[in-house]
Structure 1
Amino acid sequence: MLLSLRIYETDPDAKPRPRNPFVDDVVGRVSAGMMQGRRPVALSTFRFCSDDPAVTDRVAELYGGTPEDYDENTSHVITDAVTVDAIVDGPDALRSSLILFGPSGPIHHCDGVEFLEPPEDRGTPCGCPPSLRERKDLARSGRGPKPHIELRFRLHDDPELGYFVLRTSSWSTVAELPAAQDTLEEINGPAKVRLVMEHVEYTTKAGRAVSYHYPALTVIGAA
């Protein structure tokens, strides 16, 4: 008879989670913003974070900026780069969903039509409104989920440095997902993707000037 430990039967919360290859071997994270205290700050260039200062040092060599300690465990660099070319392994490198976070984690996680979590609700209608405008309004009010987009990639300029994950909650990036996903599916293998910090300016009908940046992504072709 096979003998095995049963210690997690009495404390299931302590059971280690299965390895997630999407993020477990990632050397750094990329974003279009950061937190200063409790206040989110938008950036006009790409920001890289890593637990390894050697990674941010190399990123600074490639894209400019000055590496700094962000906290006791993390180094970061706000680069000078508005464009970063990346290599992805295939269509699974791009993930997207809608998430509403509560104090202790996600309280609503869906694909816009059906729940993704919790497991017992997966595949059932999520109840989100059909129109994009209503979805945005609910998200802005804190009563609806926001986009949660992740792209796992290596730097085209230094693939050996390792994998990075870009995360964004931009609705503008959402608009580019169908074309990017379709092209990645067609290539169905390693592909080159161009990341651009896109600048948007316009004036509303009420006369209010709006200006912001978001990470745009375009699939260039097979890598």
Structure 2
Amino acid sequence: MTQSTTARVGRFHQGRLSEGRPQVLDAWRVTTDDADVAASVAGFLGGEPQTNGGRGGLAHEILTSRDSVRVIMDGPDAVTARMVLRSGKEITHECDGSQFLSPDKKKGQSCGCPPLLEDKKLAARDGRGPMPSIDLTFRIAAAPTLGEFHFMTTSWQLAAQLSDLTDALERADGPAVCDLTLELVVFTTKTGIGVGYRKPVVTVLGSPDTVAPEPPPTAGPPPAPAPSALRRKARRAPEPATPNMPEPACSVAVDTPLLYRAARVLGTNDHQETVTAALSEVVAGRRRTTELARLREHVGRIAAIADQALQGRDSPLA
């Protein structure tokens, strides 16, 4: 899986920095140095070009309205994957999961990483092993002449998908149309906290000759129900509540030791789950504020009644 040598015109992101803190987004963010490319991306994917407020050095950003974009990937070489362990800005370990990729004197030698992905993940969580570093190169299917974009991620979920992805790209035997999606994942942690986050997923659909550059339009809204149907619907039991989702505007700044401690408390398995669980707690806390204020009034009144009872006075409830 080698890196494309074609100049890239922009980059896809699933988050951004907001006032120096990481912010997770529900739709793709695109950055570019080319104002014309920025305008074209906004035209195809929604959003408005603006000055890039996040890091990365590219002048323009577009906060699109799309959580799934149809792209064209040119075979397995469009995927670059390695495992990297850093100490600050320095790379101390670089491998392909089984053999060293650098330095040259170690290249090709066994790297000592565990063979199973889950064991690799545990080693990385404990700071003993490398994390995935994945780079995908592609063109927007609806506007392939804009040039190549890329998406970089450390997602363990995408790392688990890489073998199937490269096999599917190999079978395509040429350019392949794919859906690049921020797929919603909802789950409950071991401590009962409802968490939702988005993971990157690539789905290979077929060749440009057989797959449309854009998904077919969805059906329009259903007709309004008859009054009797509305009455029946009103009698139905309420839908089960879904886990609290982190608000898109929430952001946190954490260091690695704090992440490890939070993971133990929240019952999560990786940094992304830990951060989203923490965000869910923040949001849930905000929603409880009004209720807690009301409860404090009742607790204070109950305490006063109990105190009067202990002193043999008449209760104000009598």
**TM-score, normalised to structure 1's length?**
0.83
The DSSP-based 3-state class of the residue aligned with 1:101 is strand
Query: Hey, what does 1:193 align to over in structure 2?
Result: 178
User: Which digits, 9 at most, give the CA deviation of each residue in 1:21-64, with x for residues without a partner?
Assistant: 72551000112112335432221111111111221111111111
Aligned partner of 1:174 among 159, 168, 175:
159
For residue 30 of structure 1, what is the aligned residue in structure 2? Answer: 12
Q: Which residue of 2 aligns with 1:159?
A: 144
Q: CA deviation at 1:113?
A: 0.9
Give the AA of the match of 1:200.
Answer: V
C-alpha separation between the residues in 2 aligned to 1:84 and 1:197? 9
Aligned CA-pair RMSD: 2.0
- Cα distance change of structure 1 residues 21 and 57 upon mapping to structure 2, 3 Å threshold: same
Does 1:70 pair with 2:52?
A: yes
Structure 1 segment 74-153 matched on structure 2, within 5 A: 74-153=59-138
Q: Aligned with 1:120: secondary structure?
A: coil
Any conservation in 2 of the 1:91–1:189 contact (CA below 8 Å)? no
Task: Provide the residue aligned with 1:13 in structure 2.
Answer: none
Task: Report the Cα offset of residue 77 of structure 1.
Answer: 1.0
- SS of the aligned residue for 1:121 comes to coil
The higher-RCO structure (CA 8 Å, 6+ apart) is: 1
Cα distance change on mapping 1:159 and 1:73 into 2, 3 Å: closer
Would you say the 8 A contact 1:31–1:167 is kept in 2? yes
1:51 aligns with 2:36: no
Alpha-carbon distance in 2 for matches of 1:135, 1:65: 38
Asked if residue 219 in structure 1 is aligned to residue 204 in structure 2, the reply is: yes
**SS of residue paired to 2:108:** coil
Farther-moved stretch of structure 1 (134-143 vs 56-65)? 134-143
How far, CA to CA, are the matches of 2:128 and 2:75 in structure 1? 34
Q: 3-state DSSP class of the match of 1:134?
A: helix
2:42 to 60, 68, 73: 60
- Cα separation, partners in 2 of 1:129 and 1:221, compared to 1, 3 Å: same
CA offset at residue 199 of structure 1? 0.4
Does the 8 Å contact 2:135/2:151 carry over to 1? yes
| Runs of 4 or more consecutive aligned structure 1 residues displaced over 4 Å after TM superposition | none
Q: Given residue 30 of structure 2, which amino acid in structure 1 is its aligned partner?
A: F
SS of equivalent to 2:52: strand
Per the TM alignment, residue 147 of structure 1 is displaced from its structure 2 partner at its CA by 1.1
Work out which of the residue numbers 164, 183, 191 in structure 2 matches 1:206. 191
Q: Shift of residue 143 of structure 1?
A: 3.9
Report the counterpart of residue 15 of structure 1 in structure 2.
none
* Aligned residue pair count: 204
Distance 1:30 1:66 in 2: 15
Return the alpha-carbon distance in structure 1 between the equivalents of residues 110 and 15 of structure 2: 32
Q: 1:186 to 1:21 in 2, by over 3 A?
A: closer
Q: State how far apart, in whole Å, the 1-side matches of 2:185 and 2:69 are.
A: 18
1 or 2, which has the higher helix percentage? 2
Is the Cα contact below 8 Å between 1:87 and 1:156 reproduced in 2? yes
Higher-Rg member (1/2)? 2
Question: Do the aligned partners of residues 95 and 73 (structure 1) sit closer, same or farther apart at CA in structure 2, a change above 3 Å counting?
Answer: closer
Gaps of 5+ in 2: 209-318
The 3 A distance-change label for structure 1 pair 207 and 27 is same
Deviates more, 1:60-69 or 1:152-161: 60-69
